[in-house]
Structure 1
């Protein structure tokens, strides 16, 4: 059985995943550490999904339609 998701479903799932990550980071780090963590987060993304995929994700998320 193939499940079809609407654009709204996909957006909601993406928001939920993002919120889980934000909640985890907020529990583990102080606000000051989070504000200074840009480079570490970028490197983490590259470790998780590879440099090319990380760059692709950033490009897609910042592109204007």
Structure 2
């Protein structure tokens, strides 16, 4: 579900958002994700999974 994808993006110890923030921090770039942006990423991934091959969270 969209909510599951949101949780994967934000609530896991190695969440994708934290990974991208850490990666870009090495280049002195501060990356921020708004709640609306995270929601939209989750919606898009869920929608694409419904229309083509469902690859689960790997879509993120």
**Superposition TM-score tier, normalisation by shorter sequence:** 0.3 to 0.5
Higher CA-based Rg: 1
Give the number of the structure whose residues are more often helix, by fraction: 1
The structure whose RCO (Cα within 8 Å, separation 6+) is larger is 2
TM-score normalised according to structure 1 size: 0.36
